[in-house]
Amino acid sequence: METMEIKPDLIGQSVGRLDSHEKVTGAALFTDDLQFGRKLLHARIKRSPHPHALIKSIDVSRALDLPGVKAIVTGDDFPEHIGLYLKDKHIFARERVRFVGEPVAGVAAVTEEVAEQAVELIDVEYEPLEPVFDPEFGASPEAPLIHPDLEKYEVPNFIFPQAGTNIANHFKIRKGDTGRAWERCTTIVERKFHIPHIQHVPIEPHVAIAQVDQTGKATLWASSQSPFAQRNLIAKTLGISQSDMRVIAPLVGGGFGCKAGVTMEAMPVAIATKVPGYPVKLRLTREEEFYTNFVRQGLVINIKVGCDADGKLLAMENTMFWDGGASTEYGVNITRAGGYSSTGPYDIPNVKTDSLCVYTNHPIGGAYRGFGMSELHTAVDQCMDELAEAIGMDKVAFHKLNCVRGGDTLVTGMTLHPVGLEECIDKVAKAIDWGEKPPAGAPNKRRGKGIALAWKAPAMPPNAGSSARLELNEDGTATLGVGGQEIGQGTFTAVAQIAAATLGVPYESIRIAGPLDTQYSPYEWQTVASRLTWSMGNAVRAAASDARRQILETVAEAWDEDVNDLDIVDGVVISYRSEQEQPLKEMVIYGLPNEDFTEWTGGPIVGRGMFMPTYVTGLDPETGQGERAVVHYTVGAQAFDIEIDMETGKIEVLKGAAAFDVGQAINPELVKAQIEGGFVQGLSSAVFEEIQLKEGVMQNPSFVDYRIATAADIPHEIESIIVEVPQDDGPWGARGVGEHPMIPAVAALANAIYDAVGVRMDGPPFSAEKVYLAMLDAGIVN
């Protein structure tokens, strides 16, 4: 039954963010003493000191004799594999270890100190094996195999591991004919880049508490972006029903992808199975956080790109060797995303791409903000800058000539939906006064400007779903249940706005049920891929529409009116025909009586909604071609105006500008906050961040030697610009923008460095020392 058009009065408004104490019900973080009492056990992990070795024996006898030790587990206790896309790892290593820091055994004891002592008493005999540290070499036939049983691993049909090699996924694009296209190119640029591993460094490290009761039912409390994925994967690995595996996820103190999927969370659950009734807590130290959990994959990328005399792009060949580390259970999909987005947001008719996810004996590569796009764009956009320079064409004009537009046939054969990328380019160029060359601030400084583009699609399976539930309360407020997580991005605020606008109540009337709890919260695939505003937002809108329909049908029956004459405005049902009014208070629980109170209509109102994209198609494994590779792309541009000190190489960012087409900004201030935050995180990765690995050992696992940007490093001015070209399947046209502002930062800064001093480097970080040495090598300074 149709109802009157919903009026989205709250959409596009920058309402205040939800106060976690007042608006998110029950979302207080757990505290050990109050919730778990003296029965709480503490876990520590015995880890591998070798990057690659066989496990010959494990002797836990001395550790078991230590007073206070309650349980010790090894890989022998848990033989099944675990993994999100490719099931290629064990909870604890079995038979061999594949990276420094891999879990070999777990201890539960009465205190963390006793557990640490017990870990030291576990004796492990290893037989070292030849390691692999270079993904290019790892992909070759000469490399020793890290996973000899690769062909036996469980994998979805869109991931293509190569048995008998270290290649966990090989994604291919074959579009047009690059061989013939090179003959028509007047200018060709060919470059090789090395993009280092970096760490997410959330302020809150990973922490989880697990308890298994006497019936075998398990509960996990975890700082998590993926409670439902954790429920599913851990239950499957332990051989229990998902209904017997409960995950409770309070608000998260920073994620950026490292708390997606399953990383350390399975270990306390596994240990807890040996001590029924006792909660077991595992907290990673800051050092463990740096290299024993997910890191951003490294990348070696070879790019060849060419254009005609007018600057029109004709061909690209792109070979990517992703350093997936010891397990590629998540990394294989990053490789896939890099493959189907391998041109960047450029219209190129002839493309050959080989995107390879390669096992190495480095830390495990997993989801990181941007999901491979930052690494890819670091190379692609520098090559575009160099190509424009080579033909003497203005770089903004070059980008506008070649950027993707709605209706273009993309690298996968998909037709692009309408986007506002050209508008993004114009706005960032204007913001930094592109084309003007103001003098540097001092005689020893040089000034430069750079620009880069970005695109990213939600990288997810074709059937990643969202659901929501909206329950009306006696006072007319509504409690919104969702399964997506608040990790600082403001998703609870956005979905509250969507629910309020759809239902027809004030924003302040919406409460978010929390903490997330797989036993009670509606299902959500994961809080990743910049998809919640779009996917979960659609589910919330459906749930609120369902509740709205029930309310209007109840009132229409009670008033004997046509439901199409009714509306809900500020929490009051009104009739445009009879001009009657009925507040939601009370009636959304108790219904409405007839005139003599002998009959009632209605009852408790509970709205339900779900969303799952059903239109994503498979891609040919040999060509990467298909009708619709992804749900959509969010596009944007970023620009820098910088100065470089010629005596030190230090970069000072005078101004940054970023513009992104978000479809429809549900909350403009939150969108701008995401743009600013991503800009700064991207700048941090461009100037400071690098996991320094030597023979598989991280050399800088602390904030003393691993620098991240602080308030002192933020540009003098960041201009955040919103462009809105609506998405056909988003709530009011909205698309996600959480990851995208980080993506073009490295390339844009690199291009500004070249504009200032004329040097190009093969990868970040662009530290003052590295810039100065590059200038020295180029003969620019003495």
pLDDT tens digits, 298-310 = 999 999 999 999 9
Is the Cα dihedral 725, 729, 731, 736 positive or negative?
negative
- Residue 13's pLDDT is what? 79
At 21, the pLDDT band (50, 70, 90 cuts) reads very low
Which ranges of 411-512 would DSSP assign to H, the alpha helix?
421-431, 491-503
CATH fold group of domain 34-129+213-283: Aldehyde Oxidoreductase; domain 3 (3.90.1170)
454 vs 343: CA distance, rounded Å = 10
- Position 288 scores a pLDDT of 98
Higher pLDDT: 595 or 385? It is: 385
Active site residues: 739
In Å, what is the CA distance from 782 to each residue of 386, 435, 442, 570, 646? 25, 30, 19, 70, 10
Rounded-to-integer distance, Cα 359 and Cα 147, Å: 8
- The answer to whether residues 387 and 307 touch, using CB atoms and an 8 Å cutoff, is yes
Per residue, the 3-state secondary structure of 625-686, as one string, reads CCCCCCCCCEEEEEEEEEEEECCCCCEEEEEEEEEEECCCCCCHHHHHHHHHHHHHHHHHHH
Confidence of residue 35 (pLDDT cuts 50, 70, 90): confident
Arithmetic mean of pLDDT over the chain: 96
Q: Which amino acid is at 369?
A: R
Measured CA to CA, the distance from residue 13 to residue 454 in angstroms comes to: 26
Q: Indicate whether 23 pLDDT > 50.
A: no
Could you give phi then psi for residue 216, rounded to 5 degrees?
A: 95, 0
Token pair belonging to 556: 């229409």
3-state secondary structure string across 514-539:
CCEECCCCCCECCCCCCCHHHHHHHH
State residue 33's pLDDT score.
61
Contact 772, 648 (CB under 8 A): yes
CA 144 from centre of chain:
32
Do residues 685 and 198 touch, judged by C-beta distance below 8 A? yes
pLDDT-derived band at 342 (thresholds 50, 70, 90) equals very high
* Most distant CA atoms of the chain, gap in Å: 97
* pLDDT value at 514 more than 80: yes
Question: In angstroms, how far is the first alpha carbon of the chain from the final one?
Answer: 78
Instruction: Spell out the CATH class of 298-460+618-777.
Output: alpha beta
Structural contact between residues 489 and 495, judged by C-beta atoms closer than 8 angstroms: no
Quote the pLDDT of residue 280: 98
For residue 1, is pLDDT > 80? Answer: no
Q: In this structure, which topology does domain 20-28+464-611 adopt according to CATH?
A: Aldehyde Oxidoreductase; domain 4 (3.30.365)
Tell me whether domains 20-28+464-611 and 34-129+213-283 share a fold: no
Name the pLDDT band for 148 (thresholds 50, 70, 90): very high
Q: What is the pLDDT of residues 156-166, one digit of tens each?
A: 999 999 999 99
- Residue 200 predicted with pLDDT over 80: yes
Q: What angle do CA 699, 704, 709 make, to 5 degrees?
A: 105
9 falls in which pLDDT band (50, 70, 90)? low
Length of the chain equals 782
Residues 662-668 have a mean pLDDT of 98
Q: Which residue is listed with tokens 């969303």?
A: 611
Binned at pLDDT 50, 70 and 90, residue 17 comes out as low
**β pairing state of 123-128 and 207-212:** unpaired
Confidence (pLDDT) at 5 = 38
pLDDT for 240: 98
Residue 32: the pLDDT is: 65
CB 290 within 8 A of CB 706: yes
Going by C-alpha positions, the residue among 83, 619, 604, 119 that lies closest to residue 366 is 83
Share of residues in the chain with pLDDT > 90 (%)? 95
| 430 Cβ neighbours under 8 A, 6+ residues apart | none
pLDDT reading at 242 higher than 90: yes
Residue 155 pLDDT grade (very low, low, confident, very high; cuts 50, 70, 90): very high
Residue extents of the structural domains in the chain: 20-28+464-611, 34-129+213-283, 298-460+618-777
Q: Tokens for 554?
A: 């109840």
Min mean pLDDT across 20-24, 200-204, 756-760 is at 20-24
| pLDDT above 70 (res 4) | no
Say yes or no to pLDDT of 24 above 60: no
Determine the number of helices (DSSP H) and then strands (DSSP E) in the chain: 18, 34
Whether the Cβ atoms of residue 650 and residue 775 lie closer than 8 Å to each other: no
Instruction: Indicate whether 20 pLDDT > 60.
Output: no
β-strand partners of 467: 610
pLDDT score recorded for residue 312: 98
pLDDT at 170: 98
Asked if the model's pLDDT at residue 399 lies above 60, the reply is yes
Q: CA 777 to CA 768: how far, in whole Å?
A: 14
